[in-house]
Amino acid sequence: MSPERPRRSIATVCLSGTLEDKLAAASAAGFDGVEVFEPDLVAAPWSPAELAARCADLGLSIDLYQPFRDLDSTDPERAARNLRRLDRKLDVMAALGVDTVLVCSSVAPDAVDDADLLAEQLAAAAAHAAGRGARIAYEALAWGRHVSTWERSWDAVRRAGSPALGLCLDSFHVLSRGGDPAGFAEVPGEKLFFLQLADAPALRMDVLQWSRHHRLFPGQGAFDLPRFVECVLAAGYAGPLSLEVFNDVYRQADPARTAVDAVRSLQWLEEELALRCPQLGLPLPPAAPPLTGWSFTELAVDDVSGPQVGGVLAALGFAHTGRHRSKPVQLWEQGPHPASRARVLLNASADRSAAAGTASVAALGLESADPRRSAARAEAMSAPVLPRTRGAAEAELSAVAAPDGTEVFFTRTGPDGWPADFLPTGERPGPGAGITGIDHVGLTQPFDAFDEAGLFYRAVLGLEPQEVTELAAPFGLVRTRAVTGPDRAVRLALSVSALRRGGWAPGVPEPQYVALATDDLVATARALRAAGAPLLPVPANYADDLAARLDLPGDLLDAVREHGLMYEEDAHGGYLHLATDVLGDRVFLEVVQRLGGYDGYGTADAPVRMAAHRRRRQARTAGRG
pLDDT of residue 367: 96
Helix axes 450-459 and 255-276, enclosed angle (nearest 10): 40
d(CA 163, CA 134): 10
pLDDT of residue 177: 93
Residue 139 annotated as binding site: yes
Q: What are phi and psi of 516, to 5 degrees?
A: -95, 140
pLDDT of residue 3: 46
pLDDT of residue 121: 98
What pTM value is reported for the model?
0.94
Question: pLDDT, tens digit, for every residue of 270-298?
Answer: 999 999 999 888 999 999 999 999 999 99
Residue 196 annotated as binding site: yes
Longest dimension (CA), the chain: 91
Are 515 and 441 in contact by the 8 Å Cβ rule? The answer is yes
pLDDT of residue 416: 77
Q: What are phi and psi of 534, to 5 degrees?
A: -80, 75
Comparing CA positions, the residue from 74, 131, 137, 143 lying closest to residue 107 is 143
Helices (H), ranges, 136-248: 150-160, 171-175, 207-214, 225-234
Are 593 and 518 in contact by the 8 Å Cβ rule? The answer is yes
In the chain, the domains with their CATH numbers are 8-280 (3.20.20.150), 291-624 (3.10.180.10)
d(CA 79, CA 85): 10
- Classify burial at 391, counting beta carbons within 10 Å of its beta carbon; exposed 0-12, middle 13-18, buried 19 or more: exposed
d(CA 58, CA 359): 42
Sign of the CA dihedral running 23, 28, 29, 33 = positive
CA distances (Å), 248 to each of 297, 443, 496, 501, 529, in order? 33, 23, 16, 16, 47
Q: Indicate the SS3 state at residue 587.
A: strand
β-bridge pairing 464-465 and 476-484:
antiparallel
pLDDT of residue 320: 98
In the chain (625 residues long), the average pLDDT of successive 10-residue segments reads 79 97 98 97 96 98 97 97 97 97 97 97 98 97 96 98 98 96 97 98 89 93 97 97 95 95 98 93 94 97 95 97 94 89 92 77 96 96 90 84 96 86 93 96 93 97 94 88 96 88 64 96 97 95 94 93 94 96 94 96 94 84 60
Size of the chain, expressed as the number of residues it contains: 625
